[in-house]
Structure formats: structure tokens, C-alpha cells
Amino acid sequence: MYTQAMDTMAREPGDGPKAVRSAEEALLEERFEARIDDGDFIEAKDWMPEHYRKTLVRQISQHAHSEIVGMLPEGNWVTRAPTLKRKAILLAKIQDEGGHGLYLYAAAETLGTSRDQLLDALHTGKAKYSSIFNYPTLNWADMGTIGWLVDGAAIMNQVPICRCSFAPYARAMIRICREESFHQRQGYDALLTMMQHGTEAQRAMVQDSVNRWWWPCLMMFGPPDDQSPNSAQSMRWGIKRVSNDELRQKFVDATVEQAKVLGVTLPDPDLKWNEARQHYDFGAIDWSEFWRVVGGDGPCNQERLGARVKAWEDGAWVREAALAHAAKNTPQQQAA
Amino acid sequence: MTTQNEWPLWEVFVRAKAGLDHKHCGSLHAADSKMAIQLARDVYTRRQEGTSVWVVRSDQIVASDPGDKGMFFDPMEDKVYRHPTFYQLPESVNHM
């Protein structure tokens, strides 16, 4: 669940590019920039500027955290899925999110940061995850809306990263994008079933869900381009490929048609087709809400992080026992 | 933050179907080889992407040095006679 909004999060003072460099470093950096300009992929063991490495560790790990935390709002509905079919689908989707988190942690670890360090940054609040998961899942329709809109927005955000200059990240993203399409389609399918075969109350449930998720989904693309100071360097390095506003527009244009087929309205009175632009115009986004939720004051921030920390601590004895078991049962190869 | 309690890292190789090579597809942490095979199945073959899985401890892999890439691989660059296209034969026998 990558969102460009994460570009804005959890930067540290030391994260900026270094001003003073040795002659040798300058030469290496020149070669590196030339490879980027040629569209070359950078592999984990290749030389790279420290700032490039830090930017990637931050982005990939926050992406991984988002996949893992993203299991929580959906896990909330596993026991209450309306049919066995929907329950099996939901479980498969949640398992995928766990898998996506693992592909990404592995990619981040190739940059020389350990899994424990990455998890520690999440658990201590130093690293962020996508703000969208700090909103609650209040009804069953939310499972459909998350698939349709949240995963839909994530796909728009993620597809360009399949061409990221850092190859291990790009490879993980290709795998993720291939699997993510099912997530969006199952969500839309669940909503369509309720809209076409449901009761009046079920249709109202879908509309309520869409009303609550629409604006937070638009925020997933990050602040407007003129307020995204860090974007330029990421674009230059081929870590980021398409601007926030461009992706957001693409998402709105695609979603309006899907909403019509579904039979729901989107909660924006200013949403209308602009013939001159050949795009949909939409209303102003409440960025104060975005910054509030990023800053920790969303509806579920404490609950989500608390659940992750508890799972990690409760699982400590399992991790230790597995290691002890392995040590006891592994034949001493050196002795041979 | 210590990492000494971390489960070791394993590289995962999957054979997509009989007749193909095993191909590297990623890595994962597992306490031992049995767990690594089990987790590899769950993480990398949820949609029948494989018919066989290999796992190997990452610290057991010996790799060429990326810094020596030029010295190591470039000597093959001027040995064009190792390719069939190097040889110009008469048209009538050129498809041998």
C-alpha cells in the first residue's frame, strides 16, 4: 500500500544530501548520476549516494509498514463476513497484504538495515505508515470500499514504482501490482452485489462507506505538487516517476465512471467534467485533516500501533523458541 | 537495537513448472530450513507460481564483487568469434 503521501513523512534533519564530499566520492556520484540518466537499474551492492540509500530505506520500509498495518482494518471484519465466499476472499486479500509487506522488508534489508531495526522504527513511532489505515472500518461495505478506492488509489501510486531505479524495489513492486488487481476487483464486486441485489439499507451502507473514504483516498496522493519540496530529488533519481497531482487527477477521472456504474455518488458538489481540460474538476481537499492524521491524531492511530506492538511482544517467545529449536536440531556442519 | 535474535535470512528459488530452471524470487527470515520452505510456499507461491522451491541461507551464497564487474566480465567483450554470427558462410549453407 504505497501512497505518495508517505514522501512527506518522517524525515530527519540528517536526511538531506551532504554538502561536503571528497574528490573520490564526487567521481562515484557522477558515475551514479550518469547511470540513472541512462535509465540503468541500481542493484543493492552497487555504489550509491548515502542520501539515495536513506531515501529508499525510508520509503520502502514505510511502504512495508503500510502493508502490515493495512491488515488490521480488514482483519476487523473476517469473523463477520456475510458469506463463506466473502470470508475466503477477505482472508486471501489479507494474506496478500502480509506477503507484500514481506517482499518489501526484504527489499529494504538489501540496503543494509536489519528487519529488527525497521520494525523498531515502526514500533517506536519513528517511521510512519499510510495514514489511510488510521481511519476505522465501521461497516461491511468498508471492506468493499477499501478494495475499490483505497487499493485503487494504491495501484495508481504503485504502478509507476515498477520502474523505480532501485531494482530490488522495482522487482517487489512488479509482483505486488500483479496481485493487487484482484484486491480492487473483489472490492468493487462486493459493492456491486450490495447495490444490485441488496436491500435499501445495504445500498445506504455502501453510500455511507463511500462518503467516508472518498476524501482520505484523495489525500493518499500526497500534498499538491507546489507543496511537495522533496519530490524533485526523488523524480531526478527515478524513485518517483509521476507527480502527486497528476496521479490524483488520473484516479478521479477513472473513479467517476466506476461510481456511475455502481450507482453511488461521490461526496463532492464541485465534481464535474471540464471540457476544456478533458478532466474532472474536483473540490478543495482539507489538508489540515491530512496533517492532523499524519501527525498522530487520526481516529485510530493509537489503536493501530498498539495492535502491532502487542503482536510483536506477544510473539517474542515464539521467535525465541523457534531459534532454540533450530539450534538444537541443526547438525554442526563444521564438525564434519 | 541488536539483531542477534533475528531469524536468519534465506534466499528463495522457485521452479515455475517442470522443464524450467529454479529462479531467484526473493528472500525471507526463518529459524530453520523446514520453516524456510514452509514460509517460502506461503510468501512466494500463493497463486501456484511454483512446483518446486529451493531455499539457501543468504550467508552461504558467494557472489562476485560488483566493484570488479569490469575486470571480471569485460574480457569476454572482444571474443566475438564465440558467437555463431561471427562466421559469414555462403548463402546456400548459411542456415546450418
For residue B52, give the C-alpha cell: 518446486
A 92-121 residues inside an 8 A Cβ radius of B: 92, 95-96, 99, 102-103, 106, 109, 114-117, 120
Nearest to A310 by CA among A128, A138, A72: A72
Which candidate from B6, B29, B32 shows the least CB-CB separation from A330?
Answer: B32
Give the span between the Cα atoms of A302 and A306, in whole angstroms: 6
- pLDDT-wise least confident of A101-105, A218-222, A240-244, B23-27: A240-244
Separation CA A221–CA A219 (nearest Å): 5
Calculate the CA A8 to chain-centre distance.
13
Neighbouring C-alpha atoms within 13 Å toward the C-beta of A237 = 22
Q: In Å, how far is A98's CA from the nearest CA of chain B?
A: 8
Give yes or no for residue B3 having a pLDDT over 60. Answer: no
B 7-66 residues inside an 8 A Cβ radius of A: 7, 9, 26-29, 31-32, 35, 42-43, 46-47, 63, 66
| Mean pLDDT of chain B, nearest integer | 91
For position A156, what pLDDT does the model report? 92
pLDDT for the residue numbered A64? 97
Residue with cell 557472489: B63
Q: pLDDT tens across B35-52, in order?
A: 999 999 999 999 999 999
ipTM summary value = 0.86
Give pLDDT tens digits for A175-191. 999 999 899 999 999 99
Q: How many beta-carbon pairs under 8 angstroms link A with B?
A: 58
pLDDT-derived band at A15, boundaries 50, 70, 90? low
- Which pLDDT does position A335 carry in this prediction? 43
With CA atoms as reference, the chain B residue closest to A45 would be: B66
Helices A301-314 and A316-329, interaxial angle, to 10°? 30
Q: Which of A194-203, A215-224, A317-326, B63-72 comes out lowest in average pLDDT?
A: B63-72
pLDDT in tens, A290-335: 999 998 899 999 999 999 999 999 999 999 999 999 999 876 654 4
Helix, strand, coil distribution of chain B in percent, nearest 5: 35, 20, 40
Decide if pLDDT at A13 tops 60: no
Nearest-angstrom CA–CA distance, A106 and A260: 40
pLDDT at B55: 98
**Which residues in chain A are closer than 8 Å to B7, comparing Cβ atoms?**
319, 322-323
What is the average pLDDT value for chain A, to the nearest integer? 92
DSSP string for A47-84: ---HHHHHHHHHHHHHHHHHHHHTHHHHHTTGGG-SSH
Q: Which of A115, A179, A326 sits opposite B31 (nearest CB)?
A: A326
Nearest Cα to A249, choosing from A286, A287, A284, A218?
Answer: A218
Mind listing the pLDDT tens digit for each residue in A59-81? 999 999 999 999 999 999 999 99
pTM: 0.91
- The pLDDT tens digits for A219-265 are 999 999 888 777 788 888 988 889 999 999 999 999 999 999 999 99
Indicate the pairing of strand A279-281 with strand A272-274.
antiparallel
Which of A3, A8, A1 shows the shortest CA–CA distance to A231?
Answer: A8
Tell me how far apart the alpha carbons of residues A334 and A258 are, in angstroms, rounded to a whole number.
62
- Please check the confidence at residue A6 and state whether its pLDDT lies above 80: no
- Section B49-60 average pLDDT: 96
